[in-house]
Chain A
Amino acid sequence: MTRATVQEGPSGGPSLDELLALYGTMVLIRAFDQRFATLVLKGTFSGTGHLYVGQEAVAAGVCAALGADDYVTSTHRGHGHCLAKGVDPNEMMAELFGKATGTCKGKGGSMHIADFRRGMLGANGIVGAGLPIACGAGLTAKLTRSGRVAVAFFGDGASNIGAFHESLNLAAVWKLPVVFVCENNRYGEATPVEYALSAEHVSDRAAGYRMPGMLADGQDVLDVYAKASDAVAHARAGDGPVLLECETYRYFGHFVGDQGRYRSADEVEWFRSRDCVVRCAEHLKERHGVAEKRLEEIAAEAERRLDDAVAFAESSPLPDTAQIVADVYSEVRR
């Protein structure tokens, strides 16, 4: 098994405030999905979902390198991307509950959360489908000379689907300002990456499209942030797309309810020993003298926000059944 090495961020890395923000984002994402899992297992609402727990450094580090106007396309495992891009936890939680106050009025659910005001162009239930859409957002940026950048998040599994290859080629030949961020969490559903991927690293595939391929320790938010910042700067400068692979791990199964019997306890334990939240906390304490109490306050604040989000979702109305045929088209049909 290929294991990433821990790498230092560049000199002149993030300020303490930026670090605390990165830490806060990761803590909020983890708390959100842990709360979500509890609610799913209690049967609070219909359906299931895909937990981002373990991968928080990727969403936090990449989105911190973006501006509010930049675009993101996401995946079925998208809660972390949404939160990192600034989507309101209340509206997200209400969406998971299927409530009328949700980000999508209860019509999208976990796999389709979108918030266009924040450049969040949508989670997606179809593996790889966000990559061509990110190319389109990048095309808009290029044609309008807006200076915006589009990021497509996707997993190792998506790097084997045609849409990935078409998108990388298209972005390269059109020199689009797109950063393709592969979250290699080592499994496409229950299939290990080394079985399904012909290359050693997903990022090796960048060479075939004549774009830079970068490899980051996806369990180290500083490394992700540093490399994402370089990739975004490259794209924003008009130098074309970048493929950034972040080696990470999901601590739980593919979906809430999956027991994860395709991997060993030792393996899970090894990756958990490199936890992105713990490592960031240690960095804050050791390098910046941040007190444990301050970190506990950040965690407590995240829990309070989620208490509010759940209360908001619980107290929100369900959509009226007349809503079934609303929003299909942009105007009311005859």
Chain B
Amino acid sequence: MTGERAISVREAITEALAGEMRRDPRVFLMGEDVAGGAGRDAEGLTEAWGGAFAEYKGLYKEFGAERVLDTPISEMGYLGAAVGAAITGMRPVAELMFADFIGVCLDQLMNQAAFARYMSGGRVNVPMTLLTHVGAGVGMAAQHSKMLYSFFTHIPGLKVVAPSSAYHAKGLLTAAIRDDDPVVVCVHKLLLGQSEHVPEELYEFPIGKARIARPGRDVTLIGAALTTSVCLKAATALEADGVDAEVVDLLSLSPLDEETVLASVRRTGRAVVVDEGFPRCGLAADVAALISMRAFDDLDGPVKTVTAPHAPVPFSRPLEVAFMPDAAKVRSAALEGL
């Protein structure tokens, strides 16, 4: 083995789940086709899928049908079962294939998982993880492509993380499973195949911590999930303009690492917030407001945002590409602010 093995976000998710399931018998995974071919062990047809995005391959074989639990297409039922299991001592990971499906089961997340602790005066914890897929770019149109992290972040009681790479996917999912609160892990579909060096051992990346993905002096580009890589590409492009951009990768949206964001903007004096979500009441608006309220005196110009338009995600490829933030838009926004 080389010391610098590289694995994909997909494999990082498998490793985090397998590691936590080995370490803690209370952890189990449930969702639609997390194995596939359920009940057909005798015919050798089980684990046909290992998840719609093949992130769970091997888990059924190792842990069996009790801990890798295929559900009926019944999101309200099994998300609620995750809440019930969590408040009675288990640490379930419920998989929601597409975050867009939250529409059929939001009550169990918003009114039950998020509020059970508060409404009981802190007398119960809800240690469940909702592992879900977000974002556009895969040609699946408006009902399978939304970037819904802002939607989850709006709800007190939930924690929300959005890894930008394999290293952070493994560390944040591990931290989410160990957390005593409900954590929504938003995995961008376009990141699943992206690889980088990831340690073999289990580790946590702390929830609530952002990171400086690239240091710079002239402007702070702020991204999350896929838009972190968009910011990094824009930062490279801005070198040709003589602009030294810093990139902040938020990683956690709730709680938000306000201090890392503010410290960066105080150094650079300028900020561009890049968000694949809808523009109204969303992440970009939220972070821009934070900077304006708390670092106004350090700003050398208005905070800029680059977001999706206020429109559903379109299907046709050129429309979908134009819908998403890209490096050119971020570069333009950064240059406008100078």
Q: Footprint of B on A, CB under 8 Å?
A: 71, 73, 102-108, 112, 114-116, 121-122, 124-126, 129, 131-141, 143-144, 150, 162-163, 166-167, 169-170, 173-174, 326-331, 333-334
Contact = CB atoms under 8 A, between A and B. Distances in A.
A132 B119 contact: no
B117 A136 contact: no
Nearest to B126: A330
Nearest to A176: B81
Given A136-B88, A140-B89, A330-B180, A131 B80 contact: yes
Contacts of A150: 84
B80 A167 contact: yes
A135 B107 contact: no
B119 A169 contact: no
22 contacts: A104-B119, A104-B120, A114-B120, A121-B88, A126-B111, A129-B108, A132-B78, A132-B108, A133-B87, A140-B85, A140-B88, A143-B28, A143-B90, A163-B77, A167-B80, A327-B122, A328-B118, A329-B157, A329-B181, A330-B180, A330-B181, A331-B180
Interface string B46-77: 00000000000000000000110101101011
A330 B117 contact: yes
Interface of B: 28, 66-67, 69, 71-72, 74, 76-90, 92, 104, 107-108, 111-112, 116-125, 156-157, 159, 179-181, 208, 255, 259
Contact of B88 (A125, A137, A174, A326): A137
A104 B82 contact: no
Nearest to B117: A327
B121 A102 contact: yes
Given A136-B81, A170-B81, A104 B123 contact: yes
A126 B107 contact: yes
A213 to B, nearest CB: 19
Contacts of B122: 105, 326-327
A108 to B, nearest CB: 4
A329 B87 contact: no
A329 B115 CA distance: 9
A116 B121 CA distance: 12
B123 A139 contact: no
Contacts of B119: 104, 107-108, 112, 114, 122
A122 B86 contact: no
A334 B208 CA distance: 9
A330 B125 contact: yes
A148 to B, nearest CB: 8
5 closest Cβ contacts across the A-B interface?
A: A136-B84, A132-B80, A105-B121, A166-B77, A327-B122
Contacts of A136: 80-88, 92
A141 B72 CA distance: 20
Contacts of B104: 162
Contact of B85 (A105, A116, A139, A327): A139
Contact of B123 (A116, A144, A167): A116
Contact of A170 (B72, B118, B121, B125): B72
Contacts of B120: 103-104, 107-108, 112, 114, 116, 122
